[in-house]
A and B are shown apart, each in its own frame.
Chain A
């Protein structure tokens, strides 16, 4: 009787784990957590400089920088509005809709895993992006954005610095 009960419980748990899919709801948050009145996720005014950096990933070891960015991507609510500084290769990406997106990559120490943080320019920022894989430094404010129900995180930037150039 006990064995049968245990077996039934195990089967029910296994079925629940396998059959019930992970639910992905449409994100209904504001278009931008930094600008709650924004009608579109791109609409954020420029921030005052110089920023007081709260999370400087550029001075961390590769292990720590990777882990810190991972924490920021997984627990984004804890970092909204904080000033972040990143250093890494620049990576452009064209979406299926034809929109050109801009990312800064952070690699782990082995170089086989990378995390990308999208950079979104603030309103009126005229940024000249370099060639792909150019080492850049980006300082900005961390934001959570809503693109037609799709939630994503981004770094709001006024400008970027190319490492090695004045």
Chain B
């Protein structure tokens, strides 16, 4: 135990470890906050769909040789998020089918692009594997990426706090919110944009395939022990931050993939919270 603590203390002297912890905690916190909205509106799978769209956009950005992939990933993901979250009425393609089509279509297109136009001097399977599963992405962030993640995460948290009441209204009863004079269309677009932003950031943390875990596990775990909306929001944020930090620490100590370790921590946390919830009789 003493040796492990010494090793951990040594690892914390590395700047990229400190950056990873800060960014990881903030991004997972944002993901949990927005996950509450998605889970309660039964849109949990949108995270998966959008992350795959982001993967496809990243492939296009890599082929185009953009110096900063986020310049393409963010706008494309935001546009798709707005499209997916719009209410469907009398359309031939329903919401869940639309998510599925966009998700697998983007994933396939992205992988084909990577294979057809591999990055110069790059390792296609390694790049794809890292992007999909987030093995070491969070530990290899550039300084610009760290600052961008920090600024966007703090902005998302502040927006959530400022618009908390409106988010609450839109989550539970959109028609009532509209009748109260809230511009529900505009706020839905706004929330969709923030969700897309968080998902783009979370790709660096857990990879495209595992992002749903960051959105869903904290919320569902919190709902096992909390009864109120505010309680679920706070509990899921804390749960997500703790599991992200714990997952990063465990992965660097044991040499396991970072993304998968964070998700495994979430899963164990969910099991624990389920047990607590059962014991509490909730």
A residues near B, CB below 8 A?
Answer: 10, 13-14, 17-18, 21-22, 61-64, 66-68, 70-71, 74, 108-110, 112-114
Contacts and interface: CB of A to CB of B under 8 A. Distances in A.
A113 B135 contact: yes
A112 B126 CA distance: 5
A21 B65 contact: yes
Interface in B33-78: 64-68, 71-72, 75
A16 to B, nearest CB: 9
A112 B123 CA distance: 9
Contacts, number: 84
A145 B79 CA distance: 45
Contact of B136 (A14, A17, A70): A70
B115 interface: no
Interface in B135-161: 135-136, 139-140, 142
A113 B126 contact: yes
B190 to A, nearest CB: 15
A110 B140 contact: no
B129 A110 contact: yes
A109 B256 contact: yes
B32 to A, nearest CB: 24
A113 B142 contact: no
B64 A18 contact: yes
Interface residues of B, number: 33
Name the residue in A21, A22, A61, A64 with the highest tally of chain B Cβ atoms < 10 Å from its Cβ.
A64
Contact of A113 (B15, B65, B129, B254): B129
B125 A112 contact: yes
A144 B255 CA distance: 29
B100 interface: no
Contact of B130 (A14, A64, A113): A113
Interface string B95-137: 0000000000000000000000000000101110110010110
A63 B140 contact: no
27 contacts: A10-B75, A17-B68, A17-B72, A61-B253, A62-B255, A63-B135, A63-B255, A63-B257, A64-B14, A64-B252, A64-B255, A67-B14, A67-B136, A68-B16, A70-B139, A71-B14, A71-B15, A74-B140, A74-B142, A108-B130, A109-B136, A110-B135, A112-B125, A112-B129, A113-B127, A113-B135, A114-B123
A63 B140 CA distance: 11
Contact of B71 (A13, A22, A63): A13
B168 interface: no
Contacts of A66: 136, 139
Contacts of A18: 64, 66, 72
A160 B85 CA distance: 59
A66 B123 CA distance: 15
Nearest to A21: B65
A113 B122 CA distance: 10
B255 A70 contact: no
Given A21-B65, A114-B123, A67 B139 contact: yes
A22 B65 contact: yes
B135 A70 contact: no
Contact of A61 (B64, B123, B252): B252
A64 B136 CA distance: 9
Interface in B209-239: none
B66 A17 contact: yes
A18 B61 CA distance: 9
Contacts of B188: none
Given A17-B67, A17-B68, A71-B16, 20 more contacts: A17-B72, A18-B64, A61-B252, A61-B254, A63-B256, A64-B17, A64-B139, A64-B252, A67-B17, A67-B136, A71-B14, A71-B140, A74-B140, A74-B142, A109-B136, A112-B123, A112-B125, A112-B126, A113-B123, A113-B126
